[in-house]
Chain A
């Protein structure tokens, strides 16, 4: 008999997206809240009775009452599934008050997992949760899984939150990558990493169901995990749940390239209103091409939920023909030449060069197409 459940994590309710405009902020918050309903839909579609949330349900240890109550209410509404809530590092057990409130207010189908110990999920399946005790526990809490008992013949499903050793280069991961094997787990559901990631056939990060940053491009998703029986390899399907698409792209440009076309080429098509786009132009362009790129960006930007084109890393090439556009001679031309020289002078500090280049671009902007 197949045991099927939904593996998800990192809902981060209560995140506010302060860097975005007021209306987009509201939409992003709303989209996060909507993830509950979408997860419930996925569960229903795949006939899964359980949603395992591997930590960071809440963004902070002290969510406001609306955030907390509305999340619990939304889960209560979808009472066909059981919601298993594991404290992560953002909402660790140190948030005593939070978990006390959850315990007090949780509806019957919502189960906060505040102690490390086996919990029966149904006939033949045992959930082995390891809640995060404090924001930075500094040790591998999943070690407890090794000795955690489960009924004979029952599936052992681990639920934990944190970084795996050696997985992220900069992070100080603590969870052993072979924990599934050491603890005899059929599946270890992990949270913390916002993108879906397979550590081993039995160990996975589900990623967040709704993205909240540009760190990687795409849409949030969840995992539908099917376990045929103890020891059998799990079958995992990734199902998209994200409303907003977060796109972080690089736009590589070359001198002489048609910049407006190059821009169009990297823009996502469709659903632009629900797309947040962060573009970093890199490489070198000629003066007019840069101006053309800016013009094109200005046209297309309003179509997107969010649009940002960073030209900080884009270098501008200034050739004589471009400078002719400013002036063919005289004082203006010599001013332009002076700025160009400074922009290209390797002996100058980067800041100086950037300033000179920007000043030249500006002068070009003033004089392009004749004087007003």
Chain B
């Protein structure tokens, strides 16, 4: 098919008919500024081929001019069967016609069918291809902006899909998805307000209700069961035979209890009698034992009393004896003590006498000694006074030393001093003096220092020895030292000092000697001697006294006698004490024995103990017999005794059974009343009807849910099938289109070398100046160019298959730079050789170089 002429009437701004005529094979260019109707032309052509004449779709409404009326479009086409004219009018008196020359081929729906078959019929790319103003169909579909960048694969794939999907496919898929959307959200979950969710909700609500009702019914059934049980139980409990039986059992048990109680009383009495009998017997045998013991005690007490009486007498005798002996001993002691005292006095006197005699010698001696000692001491003191005077030898030695130093200094002075020697003229002798002393004749005189010599008659001659001062000074110093030392000692000359020193030494020797003598006479000083002297007794003169030795002997004898007497008295005293104690003890024992005897006698009060004993013995054996009888009786009662506790328990049980029955009947009657109420209430609520109804509804709801679920599954299945088919178709067209596209793609990157991926058939990388570059992101311009090239490829494919389709470019390539436009123009020219291409553009200057057949929109002249 090739377009030859397009005519518009009453379409948008064109209220008057306009036409684009003389559309040639190959490249046609309609270049006009904006708002001159290029897009209107394009929309009109699209509507003609795809909008049914009865359609009131937006795309059709958009064709209507402001003035209203029915837009009309007609297109003249040429096919292998010749020229045809297709006419359509929409909205007002809509119609469609297909003319072959003057012959009407088809009209109305037939015309639509004719057009549809012309457009390809099958689901492949339509017989008319176009690229719209800067927008790829891919972007239109996704609602995305042109700026959204795509990689080459998705761009080409998207374009191919847009070309191959087919509108019926789109419609079917859209409807399927719309229906599916009623049931589920985009993420595949049940839509909250959709039928699927509603069905699910119904099922779960009914299931809940079913459960609740079943529970209510179960409650009712339990109540019924319980009521039957209670009725049965009550019937049993109220059974008169059973009641009689229970009463009889109680009477019987009560009688048995009474019997048992009586027996127990008898037994108790017997037990008491037995105890009493035992007590009496015990008392009697106790009395018997007592009387026997008392008799034995009396005899014993008597014997003991007599024994103690004897012992006491004996003790008293012994005491008296001891006391007599003590009197003697005391007397003897007194006597011996007097004698011993006298002897002692004599002895003392004798001793004193002897001592006095002895002390007279001693006195004399002591006096002499004291006198001598006092004399020696005086001598010593005098010597000591002397010894304290005069220098010591040490001081003398120092003097000597000083004197020696002086001598040395003098000699030295003399040796070094200026010496003058005067040789007098005869008459002049003595005329020269020094210090008033005439200088000796011919004898050197030492001038130790400045000296003034008086020269008689001549004057005074001063001599200064010069540098001789040191020695002179030394001499003077030594003299001074010596003199001061002597002064300190209080002597004028060393000789006197030495004499004094010697005197001192002598005195010291005297002191030494006196001291030694005193030491011998009074080693401890005089005071002890004087004390010893004072201590000496004065002598007594008594010659009557015996010598002390005798007195001592007499005294010793007297003392021994005294001591013996004292010991004897002591011994007598102890004996008396012993005797007294023994007597006291014997008296106490006797007293005790007497008491015991009295007690024994008292305990046996009664005239005739033996008779009493016999009486008691008789009573005892009588009681023993009585006891064994009581025991036998008791044992018998015990053996025959019924169990009182059991009898009571039996009676209690019989009674409690009756009471329990009464209580149970009361309880059950109460419960029965409650159950009756509950059952009456529930039974009239028609719960089971409700349940049956709910059950039926639940089944229906489940079936409905199943149907809805199935419906959703069907729609999903269909969607999947359509999706898969579309993908498959795209892939089927992909290879052939790519085969056509490959050489065209090179146009986009003429300077680069393209590498194609074996799997996708798409260029994967391009190598520009030896550098590999990826093709991941494409610019808007490149996408646009790919859209164009894909359509070119399709056009070629159609052409090869024998049904060419015109390609309309409506302001395509708006994003394309000049270089690329050149490349595109080349491509268009190359393809235009066997295709029909119509380019609508407002870019007059840019497309001026495109060449091709120039078209214009021109008013229809005349009939048209």
Contacts and interface: CB of A to CB of B under 8 A. Distances in A.
Contacts of A61: 683, 688
A137 interface: no
A171 interface: no
Contact of B172 (A101, A328, A354, A366): A366
B693 A62 contact: no
A337 to B, nearest CB: 9
Given A62-B684, A98-B683, A362-B715, A338 B721 contact: yes
A349 interface: no
A336 to B, nearest CB: 8
Given A62-B682, A338-B724, A330 B169 contact: yes
B695 to A, nearest CB: 8
A60 B166 contact: no
B701 to A, nearest CB: 9
Nearest to A351: B713
Contacts of A62: 220, 682-689
B121 A372 contact: no
B686 A366 contact: no
B688 A60 contact: yes
Interface centre among B122, B680, B722 (most CB of A within 10 A): B722
B535 interface: no
Contact of A328 (B121, B682, B693): B121
Q: How large is the interface on A (under 10, 10 to 19, 20 to 34, 35 or more residues)?
A: 35 or more
Contacts of B122: 327-330, 333
Given A14-B686, A327-B168, A332-B166, A339 B718 contact: yes
A97 B725 CA distance: 68
Contact of B725 (A19, A335, A372): A335
Contacts of B506: none
Nearest to B174: A366
A15 B692 contact: yes
B243 interface: no
Interface in A194-216: none
Contacts of A18: 692-697, 700
A19 B224 CA distance: 30
B557 interface: no
Contacts of A372: 171
A28 to B, nearest CB: 12
A331 B164 contact: yes
Given A332-B123, A335-B725, A358 B688 contact: no
Given A339-B721, A358-B710, A64 B689 contact: yes
A363 interface: yes
A334 B721 CA distance: 9
A94 B228 CA distance: 10
Contacts of A96: 224, 227-228, 679
Contacts of B175: 366
A67 B679 CA distance: 18
B696 A355 contact: no
Interface in A13-45: 14-19
A67 B228 CA distance: 26
Contact of B224 (A65, A94, A339): A94
B124 interface: yes
A359 interface: yes
A61 B686 CA distance: 8
Contact of B689 (A60, A331, A363, A366): A60
A15 B697 CA distance: 12
Contacts of B697: 18-19
Interface in A93-131: 94-98, 101
A366 B713 CA distance: 17
A184 to B, nearest CB: 34
B629 interface: no
A332 B714 contact: no
A75 interface: no
A356 interface: yes
Contacts of A366: 171-172, 175-176
A336 B220 CA distance: 58
B726 interface: yes
Contacts of A67: 686, 689
Given A327-B168, A367-B168, A63 B714 contact: no
B165 interface: yes
A265 interface: no
B694 A334 contact: no
Contacts of B164: 330-331
Contact of B718 (A101, A334, A363): A363
Contacts of B686: 14, 60, 62-64, 67
A334 B717 contact: no
B674 to A, nearest CB: 14
B721 A335 contact: yes
B685 A359 contact: no
Contacts, number: 146
Contacts of A299: none
Contact of A63 (B689, B713, B729): B689
A60 B176 contact: no
B728 A334 contact: yes
A89 to B, nearest CB: 13
Nearest to A354: B710
Contacts of B685: 62, 64
A327 B123 contact: yes
A95 B687 CA distance: 13
A264 B501 CA distance: 194
B549 interface: no
A88 B426 CA distance: 217
A372 B700 CA distance: 35
Nearest to B714: A358
B699 interface: yes
Contacts of A328: 121-122
A371 interface: yes
A371 B688 CA distance: 53
A59 B696 CA distance: 14
Contact of A16 (B169, B176, B693, B726): B693
A329 B125 CA distance: 12
B721 to A, nearest CB: 5
A282 B728 CA distance: 35
Contacts of B689: 14-16, 59-60, 62-64, 67
Contacts of B694: 18
Contacts of A330: 122-124, 164, 166, 169, 729
Contacts of B123: 327, 329-333
Interface string B504-536: 000000000000000000000000000000000
Nearest to B713: A355
Nearest to A90: B688
A358 B169 CA distance: 18
A60 B724 CA distance: 56
Interface in A302-336: 327-335
Interface in A342-372: 354-356, 358-359, 362-363, 366-367, 371-372
Contacts of A59: 688-689, 692
A72 to B, nearest CB: 14
Given A96-B224, A327-B122, A355-B717, A60 B725 contact: no
Contacts of A98: 683
Contacts of B726: 331, 335
Given A61-B683, A96-B224, A367 B124 contact: no
Nearest to B223: A97
Nearest to B689: A14
Contact of A359 (B168, B169, B679, B717): B717
Interface of B: 121-124, 164-169, 171-172, 175-176, 220, 224, 227-228, 679-680, 682-689, 691-697, 699-700, 710, 713-715, 717-718, 721-722, 724-726, 728-729
Complex A-B, nearest 9 residue pairs according to Cβ-Cβ distance, in ascending order: A330-B123, A60-B688, A335-B725, A64-B686, A331-B729, A97-B683, A16-B693, A359-B718, A18-B697
